[in-house]
Amino acid sequence: MSDMLNVTRRKAMGLALGAAAAFGLAGPAAAETNFAGKTIEWIIPFSAGGGSDTWARFNAPLLQKYLPGNPVVVVVNEPGGGSTKGTNLFAARAKPDGLTILGTSGSTQFPYLLGDPRVRYEYKDWKIAMAAPTGGVVYTSPSLGLKSPEDIGMLVGKDLVYASQGATSLDLVPLLGFKDMGFKVQHVFGFKGRGDGRLAFERGETNIDYQTSSAYLKNVQPMVDAGTAVPLFSWGVLDEAGNIVRDPTFPNLPSYVEAYQTLTGKAPSGPSFDAYVAFFTAGFPAQKMVFLPKDTPDDIVATYQAAFEAMKSDPNYEKDAASVLGTYPQVTGKLAQALFEKGTTIAPELRSQVAGMLAADYGVKLGE
């Protein structure tokens, strides 16, 4: 693996660890902003039931409680275009008055990073209020004969079907990961969110899926308990050296690297793995973020950051956050800005490599 990629990994992990260390630090002091009597729309550019929707709906009532004036915070789902539709609407219409915020995920970042022609938004135009790392778990159908993660070799040569939001969404991570593992996967593009992908799995239309941690904990773990889904591995997290290791939210599941070794008998390496790691790094350490339009006054941004910090000491947050969101800190201020920059940056050579693969293997033509 190249020195460049190792440096990228170490920097990414440094940011993630810094975020974790800040879990409880006070945010910026709120200025004289008051939202009494107002309704705030939290735009989620995905369908209901997925990880982003679960994350927003967990945070919304707490945000409502800690914003001055206790406004009504309404989660508005605007799915479509692999999250580009709702995000484009926010970019075009949101006013800098603090009454409209946007929640994004890696599926919003990847089209931007890859030059997807559907993108009509510029991340540099926005001000970040909060960033939240997360993870994810891949699972499959017991109809394929698997009973545990150790049975992953049984998938070799099987016809696998995966419900994807699109080749430039966060579903690029499983696309790259499955491809490097040598799985025979038909990626069915056009689903409006990971929640829709899970429903397709439940209907038996697909037989392999992944959900981000919050959606997995809420919606997939009950299927695992009922014997209708078999977990395979988590994507993992980065350690201090930049290596992919087990996700502490799912300590009993192998990481992607461990699953690869079980499957092939060797550690992953080479250009395909480098590409996987690059997009995993861009997509998960700052996987979910909350933004305000660029002209939003600093006092309103500070008010949001203070509210996100204050709510982390709320008894309901402390009681439920780990079971709903996983063991990932939500951060603000300089740490959120650092994660924001990491999540919206990719090495040009890796972008070109992946764009070329998508064009050659899946007919996906991207902008230059």
- Per-residue H/E/C for 103-168: EECHHHHHHHHHCCCCCCCCHHHEEEEEEECCCEEEEECHHHCCCCHHHHHHHCCCCEEEECCCCC
As its CATH architecture, domain 3-133+285-348 has 3-Layer(aba) Sandwich (3.40)
Q: What pLDDT sits at residue 25? A: 40
Average pLDDT of span 44-73: 95
pLDDT at 324 over 70: yes
Q: How many Cβ atoms sit within 10 Å of the Cβ of residue 107? A: 29
Mean pLDDT over all residues of the chain?
89
The topology under which CATH files domain 136-282 is: D-Maltodextrin-Binding Protein; domain 2 (3.40.190)
Average pLDDT of span 304-327: 95
Average pLDDT of span 346-355: 91
Band of residue 367 on the pLDDT scale cut at 50, 70, 90: low
Amino acid in the structure at residue 271 = P
**H or E element, residue 85:** helix 84-93
Per domain, the residue ranges of the chain are 3-133+285-348, 136-282
* The two domains 3-133+285-348 and 136-282 share their CATH topology (first three levels equal): yes
Q: How many Cβ atoms sit within 10 Å of the Cβ of residue 20? A: 14
pLDDT at 38 over 90: yes
Q: Are 124 and 291 in contact (CB under 8 A)?
A: no
- Give the separation between CA 50 and CA 194, rounded to whole angstroms: 5
**Which contacts (CB < 8 Å, 24+ apart) does range 244-252 have?**
244/277, 244/280, 247/135, 247/213, 247/326, 248/327, 249/135, 249/213, 249/217, 249/322, 249/326, 249/327, 249/328, 250/135, 250/137, 250/213
- Give the separation between CA 25 and CA 309, rounded to whole angstroms: 8
- Give the separation between CA 235 and CA 228, rounded to whole angstroms: 21
Q: What pLDDT sits at residue 282? A: 85
Band of residue 32 on the pLDDT scale cut at 50, 70, 90: confident
Average pLDDT of span 255-283: 94
Q: Are 275 and 356 in contact (CB under 8 A)?
A: no
pLDDT at 16 over 70: no
pLDDT at 21 over 70: no
Backbone angles phi, psi at 44, to 5 degrees: -115, 110
Render pLDDT for 233-263 as a digit per residue (tens, 0 to 9).
999 998 877 789 999 999 999 999 999 999 9
